[in-house]
Amino acid sequence: MKITSICCIGAGYVGGPTMAMIAQKCPHIKVTVVDLNEDRINAWNDPDVNNIPIYEPGLSALVAETRGRNLFFTTEVEKGIDESQMIFISVNTPTKTYGLGKGMAADLKYIELCARQIAMVAKDDKIVVEKSTLPVRTAEAIQNILDNTGNGVQFQILSNPEFLAEGTAVEDLHNPDRVLIGGNPTPRGTQAINALVEIYANWVPKDRILTTNLWSSELSKLTANAYLAQRVSSINALSELCERTGADVNEVARAIGMDSRIGPKFLKASVGFGGSCFQKDILNLVYIAKSYGLNEVADYWEQVVIMNDHQKRRFANNIIQTLYNTVADKKITFLGWAFKKDTNDSRESAAINVADHLLHEKANIAVFDPKVRSKQVISDLQYLNEMELSELEKSVAVFEDPYQACEKAHAIAIMTEWDEFKNYDWKKIYDNMQKPAFIFDGRNLLDPEKMRAIGFIFSAVGSAR
Catalytic site positions: 277
CA distance 138 to 89: 12
153 binds, among ligand NAD, ligand UGA, none (CB under 5 to 8 A by kind): none
Phi then psi for residue 432, to 5 deg, are -95, 5
Chosen residue from 1, 113, 210, 256 binding ligand NAD by CB under 6 A:
113
Site stretch for ligand UGA (CB under 6 A), options 80-88, 105-113, 225-233, 447-455 = 225-233
Give the chain's radius of gyration (CA, Å).
24
Residue 91 in contact with ligand NAD, rule: CB under 6 A: yes
CB of 348 to ligand UGA, least distance (A): 8
Which amino acid does the sequence have at 147? Answer: D
| Binding residues among 116-135 for ligand NAD as defined by CB under 6 A | 132-133
Residue 106 in contact with ligand UGA, rule: CB under 6 A: no
Per-residue DSSP letter, 5:
E
| Binding residues among 242-281 for ligand NAD as defined by CB under 6 A | 276-277
Nearest Cα residue to 182 out of 222, 225, 139: 139
Residue 15 in contact with ligand NAD, rule: CB under 6 A: yes
Measured in whole angstroms, how far is the alpha carbon of residue 308 from the centre of its chain?
A: 15
| Binding residues among 257-276 for ligand UGA as defined by CB under 6 A | 266-268, 270, 273-275
CA distance 131 to 23: 16
Site stretch for ligand NAD (CB under 6 A), options 28-36, 171-179, 235-243, 391-399 = 28-36
Nearer to ligand NAD, 108 or 437 (CB): 108
Nearer to ligand UGA, 136 or 146 (CB): 136
Residue 80 in contact with ligand NAD, rule: CB under 6 A: no
Q: Using DSSP, state whether 2 is helix, strand or coil.
A: coil
CA distance 361 to 321: 11
* Exposed/middle/buried for residue 400 (C-beta within 10 Å: 0-12, 13-18, 19+): exposed
CB of 339 to ligand UGA, least distance (A): 4
Residue 414 in contact with ligand UGA, rule: CB under 6 A: no
Site stretch for ligand NAD (CB under 6 A), options 6-14, 327-335, 409-417, 426-434 = 6-14
Chosen residue from 37, 184, 212, 404 binding ligand NAD by CB under 6 A:
37
Nearer to ligand NAD, 37 or 143 (CB): 37
CA distance 70 to 256: 47
| 77-97 CB burial, b ≥16 within 10 A, e <16 | beebbeebbbbbbbbbbebbe
Helix (H) or strand (E) holding 26: none
CB of 166 to ligand NAD, least distance (A): 5
Cross-strand bridge partners of residue 182:
159, 212
Q: Using DSSP, state whether 209 is helix, strand or coil.
A: strand
CB of 17 to ligand NAD, least distance (A): 9
CB of 69 to ligand UGA, least distance (A): 27
91 binds, among ligand NAD, ligand UGA, none (CB under 5 to 8 A by kind): ligand NAD
Residue 162 in contact with ligand NAD, rule: CB under 6 A: yes
- Residues in CB range of 215: below 8 A, 6 or more apart: 136, 137, 139, 182
CB of 353 to ligand UGA, least distance (A): 12
Per-residue DSSP letter, 331:
E
Residue 114 in contact with ligand NAD, rule: CB under 6 A: yes
Residue 138 in contact with ligand UGA, rule: CB under 6 A: no
- Residues in CB range of 9: below 8 A, 6 or more apart: 15, 34, 35, 77, 80, 81, 87, 88, 89, 90, 91, 114, 117
Residue 430 in contact with ligand UGA, rule: CB under 6 A: no
User: Which residues contact ligand UGA (rule: CB under 6 A)?
Assistant: 133, 162-166, 225, 228, 232, 266-268, 270, 273-275, 277-278, 339-340
